[in-house]
Amino acid sequence: MKFYLGMDGGQSHTTALLADGRGRVLGRGDAGPSNHTREPGGRERLIAAVVGSIEGALRSAGLPPIRPRFVSAHLALTGEPEEKIEIVRELIAAEHLVVGHDAPGALAGAHAGADGVIVLAGTGSVACGEITDPDGLRRYVRVGGHGYLFSDEGSAFQIAQEALRRALREEDAGRESPLRAPLLRHFRCPTLKSIAQDCYAGTISRDRLASFTAEVARLGERHPGTAREILGEAAQSLAALAILALERLGRSTPLLDVAYGGGIFRSERLRTIFAQSLESRFPGIVVRPPRYGPEIGSLLLAYRGAGKRLTPAFLETVETSAAPFLGAAGQQDQRQGVSPHGQ
């Protein structure tokens, strides 16, 4: 049997889908994180994630723990791919092998391999898009995604950072911010200053700081004020990423659909402002959740890399056969545009 592999890997976990040449998903495997290899133990984590998720997919398919040779494999992994390519080549045998950033996998899943733009916002943020020119060549653009120091507009990290910044500013002015009590409660710290100091010391990690965004979203949905303002500004920042991607692609008629993904978009208010910002710039634009998740997107890229045509019938086979492996939680995530990991 000829196998195809799609893999989506991030800061929390890695998922592999194993499929045949007819678009039938045969198995799914899950393993640990497969992000930055420059961190201590990063290379070992990547190897464990790639090997573990493939072995899990083989078990799920009822196949022996062999090392298959794939017709095509596409690995969409968080972080820049250059440092991962040589490692993966030692682990996977494939006629066509691509190790890339995770955004193209999310993009392909969101639009079922067709033209479009997606904005992803978890702990970080990035936008990307793709169009096919009249000669059949695909043009891809990526906007943002340069990390929390220089980018990540509208991300969970930036929202939480802005919440703490505004609360500190209010305290400096002798006023108490409505965010003060939620911040102290969330981080279990006696003062706002101690939260900031713990961030500098590394006691509060970037991911843990970003986790306060859920509280900002809750407050912003219920009450006017600072939290709602921060959510609105984040939504507009994310819309600006999409607008820049659309402008770089140079296509407005017909408009490309814009999809969204990542935990930030769980906020109904943020989604609404995001869509309104795009609609005011491009009347008639369609803003929607992704059709498929990034795991299927990576598999579609593997098929496309091998020259397979993603016809409606082929996509229906992929969708139907993948459903038992995605489960209710995965399908719910797709409807809400939620990526399983941050960017």
Same fold yes or no, 3-102+291-336 and 113-290: yes
Say whether the peptide bond before residue 190 is cis (omega within 30 degrees of 0).
no
Angle of CA points 162, 167, 172, to nearest 5° = 125
Domain 113-290: give its CATH code: 3.30.420.40
* CA distances (Å), origin 156, targets 43, 115, 267, 337: 27, 27, 11, 15
For residue 41, the Cα-to-chain-centroid distance in whole angstroms is 23
pLDDT of residue 65: 82
* Cβ atoms of 175 and 284 closer than 8 Å: no
What string of pLDDT tens digits covers the 343 residues of the chain?
Answer: 899 999 999 878 899 999 999 999 999 999 998 876 777 778 898 999 999 999 999 999 999 888 889 999 999 998 777 778 888 999 999 999 999 988 999 999 999 999 999 999 998 999 999 998 888 888 999 999 888 899 899 999 999 999 999 999 999 999 999 999 999 999 999 999 999 999 999 999 999 999 999 999 999 998 899 999 999 999 999 999 999 999 999 865 567 899 999 999 999 999 999 999 999 999 999 999 999 999 999 999 999 999 999 999 999 999 999 999 987 444 444 444 433 334 4
pLDDT of residue 48: 93
Cα(234)–Cα(277) distance, rounded to whole angstroms? 11
So where are the chain's domains? Answer: 3-102+291-336, 113-290
Cα(61)–Cα(333) distance, rounded to whole angstroms? 23
Cα(234)–Cα(339) distance, rounded to whole angstroms? 18
* CA distances (Å), origin 16, targets 124, 209, 221, 327: 23, 29, 36, 14
> Is 279 exposed, middle or buried, given 0-12, 13-18 or 19+ CB atoms closer than 10 A?
middle
Cα(264)–Cα(164) distance, rounded to whole angstroms? 18
pLDDT of residue 134: 81
Cα(319)–Cα(67) distance, rounded to whole angstroms? 26
Which tokens in the block code for residue 120?
């992803």
* Cβ atoms of 290 and 109 closer than 8 Å: yes
Cα(325)–Cα(343) distance, rounded to whole angstroms? 24
pLDDT of residue 251: 61
Residue pointed to by tokens 């791919």: 81
pLDDT of residue 254: 62
* CA distances (Å), origin 241, targets 106, 214, 312: 16, 22, 30
Q: Is the pTM of this model over 0.75?
A: yes
Cα(287)–Cα(265) distance, rounded to whole angstroms? 12
Architecture (CATH level 2) of domain 3-102+291-336: 2-Layer Sandwich (3.30)
* pLDDT, tens digit (0-9, with 9 covering 90-100), for 212-271: 999 999 999 988 999 999 999 999 999 999 999 999 998 655 678 999 999 999 999 999
Residue 129: its H or E element: strand 125-132
